[in-house]
Chains A and B, each alone.
Chain A
Amino acid sequence: MADQTLSAPLPALAGATPGRARQVWRRFRRRPAAVAGLALVAGFLALAVIGPLVTADPAAQDYSAPLAPPSGGHLLGTDDLGRDLLARIAYGARVSLEAGVLSVLLAMVVGVPIGLVAGYYRRFLDPVVMRLVDVVLAFPFLIFAVGMAAILGPSLRNVIIALGVSQLPGIIRVTRGEVLTLRELDYVAAAVADGAGDGRIMFRYVLPGATSTLIVQATVGIPTAIIGEATLSFLGLGVQPPTPSWGVVLTDAQQFLDQAPWLAIWPGVMIALSTLGFNLLGDGLRDALDPRSVR
């Protein structure tokens, strides 16, 4: 307890005290899978942020080397138009990151307040909200996203909206479940006995208790959205060529599977690794943030 201020890893865990953040980090660190997940996510973030700054122009066409295999000039080879695959992958990471993070953010910003209010006013609002949520959840996530994207039309912005709306019911459900438990705690009763208003109770007493769960939910929502973006773009419902999203690169690669298999392998590997990374990170956070898990 003496050196609480020395280091506070993961300070972003909202509402966490320094002592608690340290404890969470200690538990997290002990899980190799969680650390591997963190490393993969860090690598993915580095690729998305720094990659496009140091690689070639993803749109520049090298007419001398179409469908070139990996070499010194083009580390991962080139596509049919002679565009550098590494540059396209790096730029694609940026698109994936944008789609993943922004759609989850959208779902959280809209879904958390709805779940909070539904759970808090469970007598009046909950039945209606949950009925709607169940209707949407009856569709598989991707089917719903494809439907939304088809209606909205293809663009990155619409992909983000489609994926965000598709994740909404899940976020509402998780938030509402947490709120139903948290609102029964004695410190909430004490706040009511103090005469605190509903808004204050919801945002200062109930919601902070749900942050751990919501952080985990957001972390595992990102890979779902990354796959969603790739799928929509692959189907032509998402990001449009020439913007090099991983899904777009995969679509292009389809026709050249025999001559240039690396064109399909690299985006596939990237999708797999980044989603694996976020999922491992989410699982690790879930265990580390759960006070009941063994130290």
Chain B
Amino acid sequence: MNAPVLEVKDLVKHYPIRRGGRSVRAVDGVSLSVGPGEVLGLVGESGSGKSTIGRCVLRLTEPTAGSVSLGGRDVTHLSRRALRPLRRDVHMVFQDPYSSLNPRFTVGQIVAEPLRRHGVARGAEAETRVREMLERVGLSADMRTRRPHELSGGQRQRVGLARALVLEPKLVVADEPVSALDVSVQASVLNLIADLQRDMGFSCLFITHDLSVVEFLADRIAVMYLGRIVETGPTEKIFAEPQHPYTQALLSAAPEPDPVRQRERRRVVLGGEVPSPLDPPTGCRFHTRCPIAVDTCRTDEPRLTGVREADRPVACHLVTPSAVPDLTEGN
């Protein structure tokens, strides 16, 4: 069988807090995998730990526990030196188009940097590849001499994409690559990512807080809440029949382009704040906001298992082989 391009097992990342010896439990036991050419959409509210997972995958942050494997090779404890050649196959696109490009470098230098670091190309050859890559992301090759501050947010994000893809990596971690952009340019950048993914065939861990962004991009979706995955499965199934109450709430909040369906749809409005990851709720972490929580939810933590279908595990006590809770019912 083909080894997954990325496999994360029981990943834990706790950030110690200076006072009181406590820690922020940003990621608390997450497993996921991304197959060759597959796009996994990682969805969750702000603070649920999505970026932390992305950063652990690239070893920009050291995991507290668990493992990260790239192409079947466990890289969790590789030294930085040993990791370096493997970095050729993995890159990241960042959320903030302003802080993700070195303001002192020209666009050409930024995109050529991965080529130089991995000794793939220099000089004229590197320049040719940079030109090609810039055109592939929809920028003119003349942009090479410009500096980031001369570009718009959308253009900067395309430069970030060019940098991530110039080595033709096997895996791209895209951390909310469009959420900082104007709505008017979001769609074009998303389409570009989709096109490039289809052409180049890289696997992608696509992080977003907005489910509608990944509907057409992701093959599978994993929904996160407070450092845990609560539901995962093929995109169509998640959209057609969300099982976890939190997924249902997220879906009902996502904008619906079809006005008829928009009117018919009943919204689920979640009460309360997201609890602090410093002190997550006992039992099901979602119970403080779940409209249908029962006593067991407050004491027992539901396991993420394929209750109804093996390919779409869900972590909720009320999802049983015979019943799926429906939050939109009767409201």
Which A residues form the contact surface with B (CB < 8 A)? 1, 15, 17, 19-20, 185-187, 189-196, 204-205, 208-209
Known contacts being A1-B150, A185-B99, A205-B102, is A190 close to B163, with CB within 8 Å?
Answer: yes
Contact between A193 and B96 (Cβ–Cβ < 8 Å)?
no
Closest 10 A/B residue pairs (Cβ)? A186-B100, A195-B87, A195-B84, A186-B94, A187-B102, A194-B117, A186-B99, A208-B104, A185-B99, A194-B114
The reply on B149 being an interface residue by CB < 8 A is: yes
Judge whether B150 and A193 touch: CB under 8 Å. Answer: no
Could you tell me if B104 and A186 are in contact, using CB atoms closer than 8 angstroms?
no
B68 within 8 A of A: no
| B101 part of interface (Cβ distance < 8 Å) | yes
Interface contact B117-A15, CB-CB below 8 Å: no
Chain A residues, Cβ within 8 Å of B114: 194
A190 touches B90 (CB 8 A): no
- B60 within 8 A of partner (CB): yes
Q: Is the CB of B149 within 8 A of A187?
A: no
Docked-complex contact B150 and A187, CB < 8 angstroms? no
When chains A and B are docked, how far (Å) is the Cα of A186 from the Cα of B94?
7
Does B147 touch A at the CB level, under 8 Å? yes
With the chains together, A15 CA to B95 CA distance in Å? 25
Are the C-beta atoms of A195 and B100 separated by less than 8 Å?
no
Contacts of A193 in B (CB 8 A): 58, 60, 87, 90-92
With a cutoff of 8 Å between Cβ atoms, the chain A residues found around residue B136 in the complex are: none
- Interface residues of chain B, those whose CB is within 8 Å of chain A, are 55, 58, 60, 83-85, 87-88, 90-92, 94-96, 99-104, 113-114, 117-118, 147, 149-150, 160, 163
Inter-chain contact A190/B150, CB cutoff 8 Å: no
Nearest to B60 among chain A residues (CB) is: A189
Known contacts A193-B58, A193-B60, A196-B117; A187/B99 CB under 8 A: yes
* Residue contact B94 to A190, C-beta cutoff 8 Å: yes
User: Given A191-B113, A194-B113, A196-B117: A15 and B104 within 8 A (CB)?
Assistant: yes
Decide if the interface of chain B is mainly helix, strand, loop or mixed. Answer: mixed
**Bound: A263/B92 CA distance, A:** 68
- Whether A20 lies near B149 (C-beta < 8 A) is yes
CB of A189 within 8 A of CB of B55, answer yes
Shortest distance between the CB of B234 and any CB in chain A (Å): 29
By a CB distance below 8 angstroms, the chain B residues around A19 are: 149-150
Residue of A nearest to B91 (CB): A193
Which of A17, A185, A190, A195 contacts B92 (CB under 8 A)?
Answer: A190
- CB B145 to nearest CB in A, in angstroms, measures 11
Within the complex, what minimum Cβ distance (angstroms) separates B135 from chain A?
A: 21
What residues of B have a CB within 8 angstroms of the CB of A204 in the complex?
102, 104
Indicate if the CB atoms of B117 and A187 lie closer than 8 Å: no
Contact status of A195 and B150, CB under 8 A, knowing A187-B100, A190-B163: no
With the chains together, A112 CA to B147 CA distance in Å?
26
A185: B residues at CB distance < 8 A = 99-100
Q: Which of A1, A15, A189, A205 has the most CB of B within 10 A?
A: A189
State how many angstroms separate the Cβ of B263 from the closest Cβ of chain A.
Answer: 41
Interface centre among A194, A196, A208, by most chain B C-beta atoms within 10 angstroms, is A194
30 cross-chain CB contacts under 8 A:
A1-B150, A19-B150, A20-B149, A186-B99, A186-B100, A187-B99, A187-B102, A187-B103, A189-B55, A189-B60, A190-B92, A190-B100, A191-B102, A192-B60, A193-B58, A193-B90, A193-B92, A194-B87, A194-B91, A194-B114, A195-B84, A195-B85, A195-B87, A195-B88, A195-B117, A196-B113, A204-B104, A205-B102, A208-B104, A209-B103
CA distance A51 to B94 in the complex (A): 56
A192 to B95, CA, bound (A): 16
- B88 surroundings in chain A (CB, below 8 A): 195
> In whole angstroms, how far apart are the Cα atoms of A192 and B80 in the complex?
10
A204 to B160, CA, bound (A): 18
Residues of chain B within 8 A of A17, CB atoms compared: 147, 149
Residues of B within 8 A of A191 (CB): 102, 113
Minimum CB distance partner of A23 in chain B: B149
- Chain A CB count within 10 A is highest, among B91, B95, B100, for B100
Report the minimum CB–CB distance from B46 to chain A (whole Å).
Answer: 17
CB-CB nearest in chain B for A198: B80
Residues of B with C-beta under 8 A to A196: 113, 117
* Assembled-state Cα–Cα distance A191/B117 (Å): 9
For the complex, give the distance between the alpha carbons of A19 and B113 in Å.
24
Complexed CA–CA distance, A196 and B94 (Å): 17
Q: Complex formed: what's the CA distance from A193 to B95 in Å?
A: 15
Q: How far is the CA of A95 from the CA of B87 in the complex (A)?
A: 54
Q: How far is the CB of A5 from chain B (nearest CB, A)?
A: 13
The CA-CA distance from A256 to B218 in the complex, in Å, is 88
Given contacts A189-B60, A191-B102, A192-B60, 18 further A-B contacts (CB under 8 A): A15-B104, A17-B147, A19-B149, A186-B99, A186-B100, A187-B99, A187-B100, A187-B101, A189-B92, A190-B92, A193-B58, A193-B60, A194-B117, A194-B118, A195-B85, A195-B117, A204-B102, A208-B104
Query: How near does chain B come to A23, taking the closest CB pair, in angstroms?
Result: 10
Cα-based distance from A204 to B109 in the complex (angstroms)? 12
In the complex, chain B residues whose CB is within 8 Å of the CB of A205: 102
Chain B positions within 8 Å of A195 at CB level: 83-85, 87-88, 117-118
